[in-house]
Structure 1
């Protein structure tokens, strides 16, 4: 199933706005400014005289923009420490543009540090080891000291019990013995355990308790109101209201910020009354040391209103440290309520409010006080990539809509669609943001609730969390809460989690739902291809009997406890969990039924779950759940005391089947939660009837290699291998290191291959011949190599010696192939299996005959092309819909998975007449991860088996990938990202295979001919070009070959260094009554294409079996020059044109002429320079011929060509043909505008006539016809 949104190519993620000289120094060009810690803000900001502050550089950019700057702007920041006394704020007026982004970057080879900490001086001894400093007082300043740093390292606030460096997670805790009163719903007083109460405190109100209350869903810091040491009682200033978050017996805590507890080196405390700071230096003295305390909670702010936004700013290579924590956040309307689902509020080192297309790249966030990066409010297509975030006080990266919930408090979602819709309409959106290739670890230092990445945005679509390495977190790695919409969490390497909390998961989704009947928000989450290991969990209130396998490190703490690898809490809907590897968790690899336990239409498929402690997977849910599937998974475990699964009500489980289960010792499998807990009873309920209890045959599970051996039984049940080599921060490099192999990384290509790739991209391709590979083997004589290549039906024989330089061989349909495959079926397989007769029997026999001779269609084509020095490319139609009416193209994979189809035959029947996309029900649904996985594996096999020069991913066969396309609606931003992710994955496949063989494999994509049409169907061609995901573009279907507007996509591609080849289809060239199939018409279409700037032409559905004159001249403007041509306005519409109905595809006829005198226009492109030919005397004629339908009188219509009136020289009122003889100079090269208008004496009618044909036959003197 892959919903691919991966970010594989490193260069993709950091599109360079900087240019460098060969010695690595930044080129100083107009618009560059420089900042140095030793500079001066009165300087001009040059390399020799840099500014002192980033704020001054920002202002200089504003001044430059006021002068109408028309180029990208760079601010280069020299190494050094920049102390900040206030936030640096960028507003909407600081925005760049897509063409002229503004980049604030580290100077090459240097690392500037932005610090929110102020140096504290004036230290005096206070006793033997402790020093004290009186913080300076100003009229408007009251110090809040929440952290202290010694030489850049965070120090421990004085505490009891002391921090235990030998056991930092489980040592150093005290425990609540009892709450007072014991039956209080929300107690504010508790009793310390006996025998360990600390010293007498002179100022207990200066102290705070850090506590993990209730069920360990949260952490709190609460000031102390009073203390009674005789009774061992502590009273705090506020209650924790909710039952699950209240103080409970057994909760662990420690007391902070009391001078009496400052008893070890490295500790400090702050007296808020006297504003004195106390510190015991870790090295015993302060000589030469620097002590700093954070004074601002936001270092950098990008902040604008929703109407203006901050756009196109990039921050690259910077370091941020020491921002002031703001924790805990107290709800302004409900001061007693601390919502465990909310993100931390305040202390954001890098704050982005209402931003679009901004980026934080390759930055370091070290020991900031709150969130490292917060995206707030409206967030569109921002990129957080390749950063390291360590030791953040709260979360690594958070996307949030608001600081607190402003509506009917607290929010409840289940079953309240109208209320949800109302709230949704009032809140901002987060769309298309990418958080990728970041290393996030040891965060949540102050707020243990903090996840590494948190998405807390109600209206979302297409956000991607991918390729991150996340580890050593107190709580979740990735957390999604309180929202709607499809987002993708994929290819992350996640481990060592939930070191403090419980009831959690590596990937945790709480109250993430859908909004019914909304085209965007009705889509569920996708969690795919992640590796999630060691999600531990800690018992929140002492020993518990429900986890007998636990091994406590202390009497009062128990671990592992109550966690899952992937955990959905409170009723997920339409979520997809696919292709993940979950190892060493507690209650299972995945759980859908937390909280309200009413999951709906969720899929858990193709995952590997290994060695959880209690259950291996968890399908417990209540009687209201429905439509959930658990299929084609592998479960492997060694603990005989563990259950295979936990279940309760099974009505909500639509399918649990085709799985492979293996308990290493061979003991009977146990089913928890059902009477008898036996495997046989489970199967009696109708589940796992086709599943196997068998060794899945991992390559080397002892060494963590969970790839499957070729004879794995899971493969026979349809399991798709997980792309482990693409998981993680460094993708294949991580797997390579683990296995001791040399595997190319996703984001690199050896320099010699890169040079070879460049040369291959630039090679001459005058004509590309596209061959669907079927012809010869469907005919007699196609059963031998000689017959295939040289027989009467050979399509290869006419090519040598022509302008054809490249052959694109399409071996079959999407998932039924003309060659034998271990991934997909061949036509021969399908013919045999489903007893299909007719011409397909000969096809089968010829295929088998070639196979028996050790060859096939692809190999024969490769051999032919090598012999004749032609480029050969495998063309893969990734969504061929001929199987709507061709049974032979319905593979077993397709037949067994109707859930992979975009439509149904029933929907097609209801669509009625016309050319509705719903008629093509067999198109594949690219939101299903298994679909993209399958297609990717086909290409992987081809790249490893055949010596092709490239692979064309043919998105034009056919351009309908998502449900909105069935109603002529555009793809959503999330769906755009799905195809971008898929393209990234295929690009990596080609890179890997090319590197392995020592010669690159080009990545070629065939897409619609305009960026608008591409976006409509889900192809973000601009992003693909920006990321370098294609080497070559082939565009269009060739069905509007004369008037297809090519300029925009040609210019986009050429700006990215990508050549463009456009398509002429023999099907599209027919025109009405086969009028435009002549050689002259092909020349006319080709001339228009060359005029648009294409690099060559692709012929499609043109299958000559003898000499082909078109191959002699249409492949070059030079050979077309002076040849007779026919230029027309296209008047045919076929399938692909209709699939993107409503998107501009160029002029097509008919055009109605209104009877009210308003003009009607039609645009006729002419690629030849007719004025020049007329002037130099080589032009014989260029008549303009127009046919009108339903015209009552010739003089009722006035025609103008490029503004000049024309009078017909010939007319046939019966047929409606009018012939005009313009002067050559009246034509233009390129766009010619025809204007039709009813004359004053025209008959009164709503529609006077229709223009149905426009053509200009161009005849040259003394030339070939």
Structure 2
């Protein structure tokens, strides 16, 4: 086993890209849908084409703007196809297909191509081994739980056992939340094993490309990422070498995408030397972020300057951005507007609904809002003067406290950066000194200053929490404690509008402790140093009615403070939103 030292002086090969390959990189690709397809529970002998049609409802809708589907077929170590290297899913439904010679992966790939869509294979770099399986006398297990039909019983069952992991425990490392130990990519044998697995996929299937998803799984032990970056870069170099060789053999391009954290410091934290990957043409597409509203597209543009590498920010609306799980469509519009204004080449969706009444989402609003988003996400003329909400990112959240801390119980996530929104601005203490502002930056993707005559109104909404009492955490179906006579209305900060299923229908919601009713008289806000009018209070929020001329296109600086000093005053800014409505 060769783990070696950090070795930070390696020279890498830079690849020349053919004209045909560049044409494939530049093909029309507005929306790339990353599809977690393996999370269904097929009955033995079930018609695979019926399952595919169910999962293509939104894609087949002519009003949506999906150009590319990136099928994810599991955690990466057990597969639904016949492999010479990896075990097959031990699930009755999948096994019945294999026994009949039915290749579910090829069917989905071919049917995607028949629709004229690009098709990628998305590989989780270090999945949790929660792939579905059937256990005699127990039932069907996936995502670590025993299931009854399509729904979880809430009974934990543990991950699959992976033969190569059982045989080589020294290739693994511990994570506190992971029941299955992940691969340590600092070890040469691990990288060669994964390379061989991916080579089999590229050789055996006619995919247009592959996505290496570094948002799904930590690839190095804690604190060892950056010192091992050359080893991962060498792996990426070998991936590119392999795909280009197979591209030449088959006579058509094969692209490489990498899903990475939303900014360069986050990539460095996780041991991903994306600057080297870009410099040497190891990738064609960076899919950037996960549940991050604030993506540093401009920094990625700098490292790909002079290259034909595309930048696709990615949004997950299941393990969602904290406080914004399946938000109103105006929030999605603000998100898309910001990304396009900053120069995104397209957008990737992750964990979005695939139909209005899918098995994991039989109730609204999940499906309806996602369908509306797919209709608007790349329809720029329609998006231009549609009402929008621009928000400031909150830290953490999305996966649960055991994996990533919630902002109200924050601790630095030292195992990895991806998925954490570690550098987000909120929550933040509100200054109680009228000479010292709490400063926040917010991006506005619409040029409301130039086109102010088309704007109906602009409101800045601020949500505060009084830290003299704890946050209120109760099941979402429960009624919160009534406010005191001196308090404004209590507000839900976070809820989970995730697919309804047993065990998930009554998730814990987070409410603020409301501030006092006289706070509006003392709360000041400045937009780009322009003092705003005194706010009013509505439904627990502080509402500032402001002029569109106060905002610049792109980044804006907002200052907040309280003008009345109190010794016991301890208030947090939980949310800040800019709501823009246009004249109809």
TM range (shorter): 0.7 to 0.9
1:971 equivalenced with 2:225 (yes/no): yes
In the other structure, the counterpart of 1:819 is 81
Partner of 1:1103, secondary structure, is coil
Deviation, structure 1 residue 1259: 1.8
In the other structure, the counterpart of 1:778 is 41
1:869 to 98, 102, 116: 116
Deviation, structure 1 residue 972: 3.6
In the other structure, the counterpart of 2:173 is 902
In the other structure, the counterpart of 1:799 is 59
Deviation, structure 1 residue 929: 1.9
Deviation, structure 1 residue 1258: 2.1
Q: How does 1:688-1087 map to 2 (within 5 A)?
A: 754-775=18-39, 777-779=40-42, 783-790=46-53, 794-800=54-60, 801=62, 802-828=64-90, 844-881=91-128, 883=130, 886=144, 887-903=158-174, 908=176, 922-958=181-217, 960-963=218-221, 966=222, 969=223, 971-973=225-227, 975-1037=228-290, 1039-1041=291-293, 1043-1067=294-318, 1069=320, 1071-1072=322-323, 1074=325, 1077-1087=327-337
Q: How does 1:359-438 map to 2 (within 5 A)?
A: 432-434=8-10
Q: How does 1:462-861 map to 2 (within 5 A)?
A: 754-775=18-39, 777-779=40-42, 783-790=46-53, 794-800=54-60, 801=62, 802-828=64-90, 844-861=91-108
Deviation, structure 1 residue 809: 0.7
Deviations 1:1118-1167 (A, max 9, x none): 33111122211122513579454599855341111243553211222121
Deviation, structure 1 residue 1004: 1.2
1:1243 equivalenced with 2:566 (yes/no): yes
- The 8 Å contact of residues 81 and 105 in structure 2, kept in 1 or not, is answered as yes
Aligned counterparts of 1:1031 and 1:947: Cα–Cα separation in 2: 18
Deviation, structure 1 residue 858: 2.1
CA shift in 2, pair 1:825/1:1150, >3 Å: same
In the other structure, the counterpart of 2:454 is 1178
Q: How does 1:1125-1140 map to 2 (within 5 A)?
A: 1125-1134=388-397, 1138=413, 1139-1140=415-416
Q: Highest Rg: 1 or 2?
A: 1
In the other structure, the counterpart of 2:380 is 1117
In the other structure, the counterpart of 1:474 is none
Aligned counterparts of 2:298 and 2:45: Cα–Cα separation in 1: 42
Aligned counterparts of 2:425 and 2:55: Cα–Cα separation in 1: 32
Partner of 2:524, secondary structure, is strand
More helix by percentage: 2
Count of matched residue pairs: 480
1:1152 equivalenced with 2:390 (yes/no): no
- The 8 Å contact of residues 4 and 978 in structure 1, kept in 2 or not, is answered as no
CA shift in 2, pair 1:3/1:1105, >3 Å: farther
TM-score, structure 2 as length reference? 0.76
In the other structure, the counterpart of 1:513 is none
CA shift in 2, pair 1:1229/1:1061, >3 Å: same
Q: Which runs of 5+ in 1 are unaligned?
A: 6-429, 438-745, 829-843, 909-917
Aligned counterparts of 2:571 and 2:527: Cα–Cα separation in 1: 18
1:1166 equivalenced with 2:471 (yes/no): no
- The 8 Å contact of residues 279 and 304 in structure 2, kept in 1 or not, is answered as no
CA shift in 2, pair 1:809/1:1010, >3 Å: same
Q: Which runs of 5+ in 2 are unaligned?
A: 132-142, 145-157, 357-367, 398-402, 406-412, 467-514
Aligned counterparts of 2:304 and 2:26: Cα–Cα separation in 1: 13
CA shift in 2, pair 1:1145/1:1010, >3 Å: farther
CA shift in 2, pair 1:1188/1:1244, >3 Å: same
**Structure with more relative contact order (C-alpha pairs < 8 Å, separation 6 or more):** 2
1:1187 to 463, 466, 476: 463
Aligned counterparts of 2:305 and 2:15: Cα–Cα separation in 1: 23
Aligned counterparts of 1:1118 and 1:1013: Cα–Cα separation in 2: 34
In the other structure, the counterpart of 2:473 is none
Aligned counterparts of 2:373 and 2:583: Cα–Cα separation in 1: 20
- The 8 Å contact of residues 1210 and 1220 in structure 1, kept in 2 or not, is answered as yes
Aligned counterparts of 2:433 and 2:181: Cα–Cα separation in 1: 45
Deviations 1:1087-1131 (A, max 9, x none): 111111010000000132248222111124333111122211122
TM-score, structure 1 as length reference? 0.36
- The 8 Å contact of residues 994 and 1001 in structure 1, kept in 2 or not, is answered as yes
CA shift in 2, pair 1:1079/1:855, >3 Å: farther
Deviations 1:446-495 (A, max 9, x none): xxxxxxxxxxxxxxxxxxxxxxxxxxxxxxxxxxxxxxxxxxxxxxxxxx
Deviation, structure 1 residue 1250: 0.4
1:1253 equivalenced with 2:562 (yes/no): no
CA shift in 2, pair 1:1132/1:778, >3 Å: farther
- The 8 Å contact of residues 22 and 308 in structure 2, kept in 1 or not, is answered as no
- The 8 Å contact of residues 1045 and 1146 in structure 1, kept in 2 or not, is answered as no
Aligned counterparts of 1:755 and 1:435: Cα–Cα separation in 2: 26
Deviation, structure 1 residue 1024: 0.8
More strand by percentage: 1
- The 8 Å contact of residues 1179 and 1260 in structure 1, kept in 2 or not, is answered as yes
